[in-house]
Structure 1
């Protein structure tokens, strides 16, 4: 079976993975998050330079972990979008270089499809039909999925402003907590009362889009509460109440989508899928609704090379046509298919 090298550089993680026939053989990951922390967010040029420095060492580490040689690679898959323009360009250029040097095909992969595909490496093939809730720093989407390697992706709803992960970062900053905000809020919230403050559940009114998302207003509600509070805010209670509002909104809409579209499986993926309350509430609501929940291990929820290799593996096994070497980065690519090429960009 073909061995696929996957490369992911859409944001601040340099990820490399090696997959063969649905099995992750080895992977490696470098993060530049510490270099961005003092800015309170990712600086694109710093991320791009970090990718340049880390990419070759990560390829070497992944090969060593997998116990294979570079010349054993049969195809290369690289994120072609969406993401930070300069960061995506680094990984895609590297993917082209490896493909040319090894004389193997290149596949341009949509970053969000990678988040969905990575679960295959842990739990086996996806069902013929499922709903995916993709929740990350830049994206919050409800998708109806068929065969990832062949079928178009149907968007049931997307965020219209701040994604859930972005809201975690901004609320953490409001509370004086370090960047990135998701892990620290999850940790601090364990000592708080999720019912202490009745923050709104955004875009859940009768006139709102059933599967749309908006977290900017929730972030603003937290800011106004903190500003209006007399004295230092109870950080743990604010964090827990905010986190509960996010988890409640996400899981409520996701389970409703499963019911409406007769999908018996919910796929929860993306960086925010590592959040303990989002995972826990999803488990509760899916169990009550008779829906099977599939969530990758937390280390595979954040950006990584394994997820891109997983898409490449699916595409190769489906006989998909490779991308031309003229393929350019698509920083704002809309998810219509798992691959990115001239025919769908």
Structure 2
């Protein structure tokens, strides 16, 4: 069984082919970073138009890399939400049209379930139950995974997602877009002792998070430095170091609580921010201190990609699940609304 996966929820067009015994056969990706860079963020209409231009050539290239034809495909998975509606409609429309023409089943995949399952693309060691931390530019949430498809949201950000806070910090410091990699790179040169930023909401019970206050701390710290005539690259690096450490420590404290609260030993971390080296190291330490283990996708599967959609869709198609022709992409969609994978 070969599943074609199509991801088009935001600013990356991803396509992949997943085989039930051979695993990932091929995957291709086009990023729109350059397209949106001059605006400092994603422009939805431009994103949708670019998906239209890219998706069919990427499908053709993925098939070529895997030495497959359309007739070899057994099912099609596409991102049905959450995301930008226009962008979602592009992938959904192409997927549904292909499935109808080829007379094969199609399944709409939850974008965050794709991220949650991404580390399983390359290891069989991850078995439920476990705690998943989904941390990206649009989402930051802790999820209790009792079984595949049976999810309980344990806590989530009340405002900015962690990745959004990285991007806003980069913008405040004039580091460009996207901000996460730029902040992390500069943080490596920062003095860890110069600034100490707050760890939001760790002094109260619960697993909800907040990152907008860190953005304000960055702004105030930078403005004070500029006023004092200290607007050097080193000062920017020191601020980035303090910011990144605060985010990593906040996530670590919340993950530790989630593992202790559930009694689970396994921590699965995915989403774009999971590529951050400091965060990976800190969360690995948390899991190991509790005699558990942390799992992460390889860096290329941390950001949005077709491979995670192909894999998640493959599991649901094998379970006999289907999406009808009356598909409706969803800008908002709770993980808790998904049916179990059985």
User: Shorter-chain TM-score: which interval?
Assistant: over 0.9
Q: CA deviation at 1:336?
A: 1.8
Which ranges in structure 1 are unaligned for 5 or more consecutive residues? 341-345
Find the aligned partners of 1:125 and 1:17 in 2 and give their Cα distance: 23
The corresponding residue for 1:343 is none
* Mean CA deviation greater in 120-129 or 294-303: 120-129
The change in CA–CA distance for 1:125 and 1:283 in structure 2 (over 3 A counts) is closer
* Mean CA deviation greater in 225-234 or 235-244: 225-234
Deviation track 1:21-60 (CA, whole Å, cap 9, x = no partner) reads 2611110000111010010000001110110000011111
The corresponding residue for 2:240 is 239
Find the aligned partners of 2:255 and 2:135 in 1 and give their Cα distance: 11
The corresponding residue for 2:329 is 329
Question: Within 5 Å, which residues of 2 pair with 1:173-188?
Answer: 173-188=171-186
Which ranges in structure 2 are unaligned for 5 or more consecutive residues? none
Where 2:27 maps in the other structure, the secondary structure is: strand
Deviation track 1:255-282 (CA, whole Å, cap 9, x = no partner) reads 2211220111100000000011111111
Question: Within 5 Å, which residues of 2 pair with 1:16-27?
Answer: 16-21=15-20, 23-27=23-27
Does residue 256 of structure 2 align to residue 255 of structure 1? yes
The change in CA–CA distance for 1:64 and 1:337 in structure 2 (over 3 A counts) is farther
* Mean CA deviation greater in 212-221 or 21-30: 21-30
Aligned-pair RMSD on alpha carbons? 1.4
The corresponding residue for 2:117 is 117
Question: Within 5 Å, which residues of 2 pair with 1:48-63?
Answer: 48-63=48-63
Q: CA deviation at 1:128?
A: 2.3
The corresponding residue for 2:194 is 196
Q: CA deviation at 1:84?
A: 0.9
Question: Within 5 Å, which residues of 2 pair with 1:253-292?
Answer: 253-292=254-293
* Mean CA deviation greater in 194-203 or 214-223: 194-203
Where 1:123 maps in the other structure, the secondary structure is: coil
Deviation track 1:170-224 (CA, whole Å, cap 9, x = no partner) reads 0001111010000111111111123321111011122xx5210111111111111
* Mean CA deviation greater in 112-121 or 228-237: 228-237
Indicate which of 164, 167, 172 corresponds to 1:166.
Answer: 164
Note if contact 1:113-1:335 (Cα within 8 Å) is conserved in structure 2: yes
Where 1:225 maps in the other structure, the secondary structure is: helix
The change in CA–CA distance for 1:172 and 1:135 in structure 2 (over 3 A counts) is same
Count of paired positions? 334
TM-score (norm: length of structure 2)? 0.95
The corresponding residue for 1:221 is 217
The corresponding residue for 2:36 is 36
